[in-house]
Chains A and B, each alone.
Chain A
Amino acid sequence: EAGVAQSPRYKIIEKRQSVAFWCNPISGHATLYWYQQILGQGPKLLIQFQNNGVVDDSQLPKDRFSAERLKGVDSTLKIQPAKLEDSAVYLCASSTGNTIYFGEGSWLTVV
């Protein structure tokens, strides 16, 4: 079974630039998550989708972060403009039921 696919794996941008990350969940998984993991900390939920609808985006900094899952499968997470404190690993995950499966993550460095 293929896992959660993410790209790009690594990205370095200057502050105030924009970046977009893409995620393809495990086939058949209706629920998709974006987590932010800052070095040395646990994953923090940014947004949760159920099919193409948003279930929880209470911790998404909506002034600079946006996410969509238009057809209920792939998802993109965008940051514009980026700040230094956005440097982190952005983990996409999907689930059916409670068990969450993570992708390898997209490592973002903002300089």
Chain B
Amino acid sequence: GENVEQHPSTLSVQEGDSAVIKCTYSDSASNYFPWYKQELGKRPQLIIDIRSNVGEKKDQRIAVTLNKTAKHFSLHITETQPEDSAVYFCAAGGGSGNTPLVFGKGTRLSVIA
């Protein structure tokens, strides 16, 4: 089955700097790659997603890139703000038979003002 590795597990950046979180996946049939943000005590919320027919997607300060050949995808947050501090999860799935999402272990992002 699918296996998702996520790095780093913790990340501290200064306010205004960029943050990059990377994930790799194992199942070449996976074709859907969402990113979720989870604040303390809250539910995971979808912030951006990408499908395998697209290499990059951007939404304001957030972008995701996908390299299907290498089986890795990344989340980029520019001009970070204190409210970006949270745990971010990547996931992969949606392959043959609509396989369910498998999540990475998460990255705790701290934006220091």
Contact = CB atoms under 8 A, between A and B. Distances in A.
Interface residues on chain B, size class: 20 to 34
Contacts of A61: none
Contacts of B6: 42
A45 interface: yes
B43 A99 contact: no
B43 A105 contact: yes
20 contacts: A40-B106, A41-B105, A42-B6, A42-B89, A43-B44, A43-B89, A43-B103, A45-B102, A48-B100, A56-B100, A58-B1, A99-B46, A99-B49, A100-B34, A100-B46, A102-B36, A102-B44, A104-B42, A104-B43, A105-B43
The CB with the most chain A CB atoms within 10 A, among B44, B51, B103, is that of B44
Interface residues on chain A, size class: 20 to 34
Given A41-B106, A43-B89, A102 B43 contact: yes
Contact of B32 (A41, A42, A58, A98): A98
Contacts of B34: 98-100
Interface string B6-22: 10000000000000000
Nearest to B104: A42
Contacts of A99: 34, 46, 49
B43 A44 contact: no
A42 B34 CA distance: 13
A42 B103 contact: yes
A44 B103 contact: yes
A56 B100 CA distance: 8
Nearest to A45: B100
A102 B45 contact: yes
Given A43-B103, A45-B100, A98 B43 contact: no
A105 B45 CA distance: 12
Given A41-B106, A98-B49, A98-B94, A91 B100 contact: no
A45 to B, nearest CB: 5
